């Protein structure tokens, strides 16, 4: 049965110590399972990251459904705090325990089990793009797979990402988009001096504090049709000055912005530069900025794909999932440039935690949901 196969695949994947960027045997095992089910598998490794592409059905098929997921996991942390072996895949109390059980080896396993059992029409194909770099920098993971697909004429008409999406109970939420994420790093430069003679120095700290206060109190927006209001969080201010009688030469601050579809990273970057220039002009302190963009906001408008997923979830769980754009980023931010994408997966309460675990019944439910999505997509 697809349910037991999904549980067994999850167990085998948890046993693989695939902490980013280590492959840990996870993709090797998945390739074996998929090839036995008739998939053609290709390793798409780049930059020391292991990735797997698999396809069943004709290349350039009239209808191609894709799945994106990852087998890499975050570090286990303090092993002494775990009550089980982090990579032991122990079954206990109706749970399967271990790092990656929730995020997201169970999601990958459920799709692989469903895909292996699928009957495809002559004009249908299934594609899996599985990365080992979602928990890391994500520069050579899903991006590498999509680059390889473009170079080799591979394409998906729609894609499901199997990240945990349900906050409380199985089936209560799916993701049809994500907020964008960017981080700005500010450096204010003055002139070092003696604290007793401040007129001989140029103190960068008050200038940087003024800038941070302005950014912190600014309202970016009030939300949009499918997104909550954008947020800006000051995450650190650092001077690194151990002396109480020295005015420092430099001070640094970092802010993180999670933004909705009312903004782009380029527009927000221009605004941040304008604010920094304004404070610099007022204070005479030079302020420089660098920006790292993790992803732009995106939305897959409600329609055929979200309806397909929601209907399958409702049949198997009795719940019509809320269509949400909440949470952090995922590799869907890359897939959205290739094809429409929707995310649905397990309850994510224990992901990244000590004693990460998943209810076995949830893995079984997810496998049935994915089985139904595949069947209904080609119907």
pLDDT band at 79 (very low <50, low <70, confident <90, very high): very high
In this prediction the pTM is 0.91
List, in sequence order, the alpha helices (H) in the chain: 2-14, 26-36, 106-116, 142-151, 204-217, 265-283, 304-317, 332-335, 360-377
Summarize pLDDT for 362-371 with one digit per residue, the tens: 999 999 999 9
User: What CATH number labels 2-178+297-377?
Assistant: 3.40.630.10
List the one residue out of 73, 70, 150, 142 whose CA is nearest residue 111: 70
Choose, from 15, 23, 72, 371, the residue flagged as catalytic. Answer: 72
The dihedral over CA atoms of 337, 41, 9, 28, expressed in degrees to the nearest 10, equals -110
The pLDDT tens digits for 318-355 are 999 999 999 888 999 999 999 999 999 999 999 999 99
How far apart are the C-alpha atoms of 232 and 55, rounded to whole Å? 41
Query: The tokens of 329 are what?
Result: 């980023």
Residue 289 φ then ψ, to 5°: -145, 140
Catalytic entry in 3, 103, 133, 134: 134
Q: Is the pLDDT of residue 61 over 90?
A: no
Which 3-state string (H, E, C) describes 218-266?
CCCCCCCCCCCCCEEEEEEEECCCCCCCEECCEEEEEEEEEECCCCCHH
127 is written with which tokens?
Answer: 């594609």
106-116 helix and 360-377 helix, angle to the nearest 10 degrees: 40
Q: What is the pLDDT of residue 327?
A: 87
Residue 161 has a CB neighbour count (10 Å cut-off) of 30
Bridge partners, residue 232, by sequence: 257
On whether the CB atoms of residues 314 and 171 are closer than 8 A, the answer is yes
Burial class (CB in 10 A: 0-12, 13-18, 19+), 115: buried
Domain boundaries, the chain: 2-178+297-377, 180-295
Same fold, 2-178+297-377 and 180-295: no
Q: pLDDT > 70: what percent of the chain?
A: 100
211 Rama sector, left if φ>0, alpha if ψ -120 to 50, beta otherwise: alpha
- The verdict on whether 134 is a catalytic residue reads yes
Question: Is residue 62's pLDDT more than 90?
Answer: no
User: Dihedral of CA 311/313/317/320: which sign?
Assistant: negative
Q: What angle do CA 144, 161, 378 make, to 5 degrees?
A: 105
90 is an active site residue: no
- State residue 54's pLDDT score: 98
Strands 322-324 and 173-175: parallel
Would you mind telling me the total number of residues written for the chain in this entry?
379
What are the pLDDT digits (tens) for 128-158? Answer: 999 999 999 899 999 999 999 999 999 999 9
Q: How far apart are CA 292 and CA 367, in angstroms?
A: 37
Question: Tens digits of per-residue pLDDT, 196-241?
Answer: 999 999 999 999 999 999 999 999 999 999 999 999 999 999 999 9
Topology of the domain covering 180-295: Alpha-Beta Plaits (3.30.70)
d(CA 65, CA 160): 8
The percent of residues above 90 in pLDDT, for the chain, comes to: 98
The angle subtended at Cα 116 by Cα 9 and Cα 58, nearest 5°, is 140
């Amino acid at each position: 049965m697809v349910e037991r196969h999904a549980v067994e695949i999850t167990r085998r994947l948890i046993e693989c110590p695939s902490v980013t960027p280590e492959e840990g045997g996870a993709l090797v095992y998945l390739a074996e399972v998929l090839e036995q089910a008739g998939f053609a598998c290709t390793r798409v490794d780049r930059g020391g990251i292991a990735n797997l592409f698999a396809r069943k059905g004709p290349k350039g098929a009239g209808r191609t459904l894709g799945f994106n997921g990852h087998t890499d996991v975050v570090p286990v942390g303090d092993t002494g705090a775990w009550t089980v072996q982090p990579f032991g895949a122990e079954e206990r109390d109706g749970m399967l325990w271990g790092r990656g059980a929730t995020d997201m080896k169970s999601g990958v396993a459920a799709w692989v089990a469903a895909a292996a059992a699928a009957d495809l029409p002559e004009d249908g194909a299934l594609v899996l793009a599985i990365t080992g770099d979602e928990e890391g920098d994500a520069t050579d993971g899903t991006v590498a797979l999509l680059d390889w697909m473009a170079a080799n004429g591979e394409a998906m008409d729609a894609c499901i990402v199997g990240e945990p999406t349900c906050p409380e109970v199985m089936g209560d939420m799916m993701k049809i988009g994500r907020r964008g994420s960017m981080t700005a790093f500010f450096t204010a430069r003055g002139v070092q001096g003696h604290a007793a003679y401040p007129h001989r120095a140029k103190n960068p700290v008050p200038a940087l504090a003024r800038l941070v206060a302005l950014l912190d109190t600014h309202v970016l927006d009030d939300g949009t049709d499918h997104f909550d209001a954008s947020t800006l969080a000051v995450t650190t201010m650092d001077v690194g000055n151990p002396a109480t009688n020295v005015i420092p030469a430099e001070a640094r601050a970092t802010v993180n912005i999670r933004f909705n579809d009312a903004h782009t990273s380029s527009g927000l970057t221009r605004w941040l530069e304008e604010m920094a220039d304004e404070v610099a002009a007022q204070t005479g302190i030079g302020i420089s900025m660098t920006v790292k963009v993790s992803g732009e906001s995106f939305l897959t408008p409600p329609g055929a794909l979200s309806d397909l997923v929601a209907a399958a979830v409702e049949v198997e769980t009795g719940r019509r999932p809320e269509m949400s754009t909440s949470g952090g980023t995922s590799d869907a931010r890359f897939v959205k440039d290739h094809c429409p994408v929707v995310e649905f997966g397990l309850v994510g309460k224990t992901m990244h935690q000590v004693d990460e675990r998943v209810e076995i019944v949830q893995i079984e439910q997810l496998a049935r949901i994915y089985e139904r999505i595949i069947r209904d997509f080609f119907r």
